[in-house]
Amino acid sequence: MPISFMLNKGKVPVKIFTADVDSASLTQLGNLSQLPFIHSHIAAMPDVHAGIGATVGSVIPTRGAIIPAAVGVDIGCGMNAVRLSLKASDLPDNLYSIRSAIEQRVPTGFDQHDKPSTQGATLKNMEKHLDAITDKHPALIKMVKNFHRTWGKQLGTLGSGNHFIELCIDESDDVWVMLHSGSRGIGNAIGRYFIEKAKKDVGRELGQLPDKDLAYFTEGTQHFDDYVQAVGWAQDYAMTNRREMMRLVLDALQTCQHLPTFTTTREAINCHHNYVQQETHFGAEVYVTRKGAISAQQGQLGIIPGSMGAKSYIVRGLGNEQSFCSCSHGAGRRMSRTEAKRRFNTRDLEAQTAGIECRKDKGVVDEIPGAYKDIDVVMQNQADLVEVVHTLKQVVCVKG
């Protein structure tokens, strides 16, 4: 489906790839379009919903400025997926042992490893570059308990909220491992720290912004350069976190007595959906912030997950410039976590996740499928942005 409609209330238009957009999101998109450094237009993906300052599911090209709150605090959050040589028929009838093996190997929620699971040159190189950031911004160290030990111990951990690890079956009965996580506590601290710095840097102009969470850094200033350095580090950390977590999950599966020996295929994807990077669009070098969106360059593979109990998709980008070569990062929330907990209970969760080996307690009711948009409709709305390569259905889901 092409652009559903356009919002023309600001300095640039907003091109929206769905008609299913709430008033709060329209307000946020309108606020973004009033900023003087937006290039060409703003694109809103089919999973669009209200965020903090900037809308989740938005693609924001900027010239000479970056908005830290648009990147958010889960910097580099994204997906990793790999196809295994296993078939659905290789899986045991009772999948609890598989979920348990994964949960024992990968810390979830607030848990972390007793010691860093990633060793050697990788850890030392990350530490060296992080020290260069904290030397200039020592206040960051106070924002994470046991800062120097915690970030290393959280590599290869899941976290909570909408993060997950899943075992899925595709249309050919091939087994996939798919996971979703980001930059953990250190990324959250970097995000919060620089969001507040941006508010202070704009000073008296903060009150003139349509939303204080749209405070920005201007290119050429110290904090702009420092943020680019810090956000780049956090994005690399998130990528490494997913890579390490995938290694641990595959190790856990190899130890399961009920599974035959397996290998991984060459089809593997590791992609961000909360990040900023330099790209060229409509004749200009710009900073593209994807807040709840993934890159969908021509031929590029990506991952679009549904909710617990819904289908997910491996896709190939079509390179649509109107979306800045982007697509949705998932189904997108239809309601807040508070509203989901008010509206649904554990019985609803059990019904909506029938046949899936996963937690079904009140601690994850806010992640119930009913709190999300219909992933099939979301996919229909972005037929001009991506083509489906594989359709996945989860059979095991691990949540924090």
pLDDT value at position 1?
Answer: 58
Asked if residue 273 belongs to a known ligand binding site, the reply is yes
- Quickly name the fold that domain 5-334+372-399 has: tRNA-splicing ligase RtcB (3.90.1860)
Q: Domain residue spans in the chain?
A: 5-334+372-399
CA torsion through residues 50, 232, 157, 140, sign: negative
CB 376: neighbour CB atoms within 10 A?
Answer: 13
Q: What is the pTM of this model?
A: 0.96
Q: Can you tell me the distance from the alpha carbon of 261 to that of 132, in angstroms, rounded to the nearest whole number?
A: 44
User: Is 305 marked as binding a ligand?
Assistant: yes
Annotated catalytic residue, options 39, 49, 223, 329: 329
Task: Render 71-90 in DSSP notation, one character per residue.
Answer: H-SSTT-EEEEEEEEEEGGG
Residues 6+ apart with CB under 8 A from 33: 7, 9, 10, 11, 12, 13, 14, 41, 42
- Model pLDDT, residue 157: 98
Residue 244's pLDDT is what?
A: 96
Q: Is 223 annotated as a binding residue?
A: no
DSSP symbol at 40: S
Residues in the chain where the model's pLDDT stays below 70: 1, 266-267
The CA distance from 261 to 251, in Å, is: 11
- Is 148 known to be catalytic? no
Give the C-alpha distances (Å, rounded to integers) separating 169 from 103, 190, 266. 20, 37, 17
Say whether 146 counts as a known binding-site residue.
no
Q: With beta carbons less than 8 A apart as the criterion, state whether 214 and 54 touch.
A: yes
CA distance 194 to 255: 42
Dihedral class, residue 197 (left if φ above 0, else alpha if ψ from -120 to 50, else beta): alpha
Q: What count of residues does the chain have? A: 400
Instruction: Report CA-CA distances (Å) from 175 to 110, 249, 265, 300, 367.
Output: 29, 13, 11, 21, 23
How far is 73 from 67, CA to CA, in rounded Å? 12
As a 3-state breakdown, the chain gives helix, strand, coil percent values, each rounded to 5, of 40, 30, 35
